[in-house]
A = this chain, B = another copy of it.
Amino acid sequence: MIQPATGQGPLYRQTRDLMIRRIADGDWEPGQRLPSEWDLADEFGVSQGTVRKALNDLADENMVLRHQGRGTFVASHTSQRELFHFFHLEAPGGVRQLPVTSRLVGVSSRRASRDDMERLGLSTNAHVVDIQRVRDLGGKPVISEHITLAAKRFPSLAQEDDPPNELYQFYEQRFGMTVHRAVEQLRAIAAGAWEAEQLGVKRGAPLLEINRIAETVDGTPIEWRRSRCNTQNHQYLSEILK
């Protein structure tokens, strides 16, 4: 099917946008191989060079992965990716490792608060699911996490009594929701009674609070997460490459 130029901006950009739409709509699923550059060029009615530029742009944005000789694949969540892009706590030596153990505090459902509605772009009367857990690093509890999701987007999640440790893979495989980017806001807070108990620190001890909003490819916010971390033996890594 030839897609005529929609008219806006350069061809490679329009081509990129069409492909993003396919990923966002699930026409191309995570892990799936895309048609070859030549086939896509045919399909979109542009030259192979134009498709190539669009694909390389998508690769730069981590929406697809390209492998010489094998093909181009829609990005999917692996432990590697989760560690590299979405987990920023490291031990002093620079060692980063995903928590392998965590203690589930609870999964529950409730009406969305005003804050939830704003953060997740929900309408009144929407329901949300809360997941609370404590994650271990180096054998000790270090992160107290509170996660909020729209119940509608994650049906039957509230009944889940043992969500896996790596949630983004779970979201993707089970609910077809792929997290693509996130924004985190950090501040220092004093541990309350709850965190003190969960993390084994004194009340009032300084903790690093990370508030994250995670979005899909098309920019829809699907997860809000508050992590309170004991940074006695760990630190948050932020690379400024630009």
Interfacial residues, chain A to chain B (CB-CB below 8 A): 60-62, 84-86, 88, 90, 181-190, 204-209, 211, 229, 231, 234-242
Give the complex CA separation of A205 and B182 in angstroms: 29
* Inter-subunit contact A208/B208 (CB<8 Å): yes
Question: Complex: how many Å from CA A88 to CA B190?
Answer: 21
Note all chain B residues with C-beta closer than 8 A to A186.
Answer: 186, 208, 231, 235-238
Report how far A60 CA is from B189 CA in the complex, Å: 36
A-B contact pairs, 10 of them (CB 8 A): A60-B60, A181-B239, A181-B240, A182-B239, A184-B237, A185-B236, A187-B236, A188-B209, A189-B231, A238-B238
B208 & A190 in contact (Cβ 8 Å cutoff): no
Taking a contact as CB atoms under 8 Å apart, the answer to whether A206 and B188 are in contact is: yes
A229 to B187, CA, bound (A): 9
- For the residues of A in contact with B, the DSSP-based class is strand
Contact of A204 among B85, B204, B209 (CB under 8 A): B204
Q: Which residues of B contact A181 (CB under 8 A)?
A: 239-242
Q: Is the CB of B189 within 8 A of A188?
A: yes
Q: How far is the CA of A167 from the CA of B235 in the complex (A)?
A: 26
Q: Are A237 and B206 in contact (CB under 8 A)?
A: no
With a cutoff of 8 Å between Cβ atoms, the chain B residues found around residue A90 in the complex are: 185
Chain B residue contacts of A187, Cβ below 8 A: 208, 231, 234-236
Chain B residue numbers with a CB within 8 Å of A184 are 237-240
Q: Please measure, in the bound complex, the distance between the C-alpha atom of A79 and the C-alpha atom of B60, giving whole angstroms.
A: 27
Q: How far is the CA of A204 from the CA of B188 in the complex (A)?
A: 12
Shortest distance between the CB of A23 and any CB in chain B (Å):
16
Q: A85-B242, A238-B238 are in contact. Are A206 and B183 (CB under 8 A)?
A: no
Is B238 in contact with A88, judged by CB distance below 8 angstroms?
yes
- Chain B, residue nearest A211 (CB): B235
| Distance in Å: Cβ of A88 to nearest Cβ of chain B | 7
Expressed in whole angstroms, the Cα–Cα distance for A208 and B182 within the complex equals 21
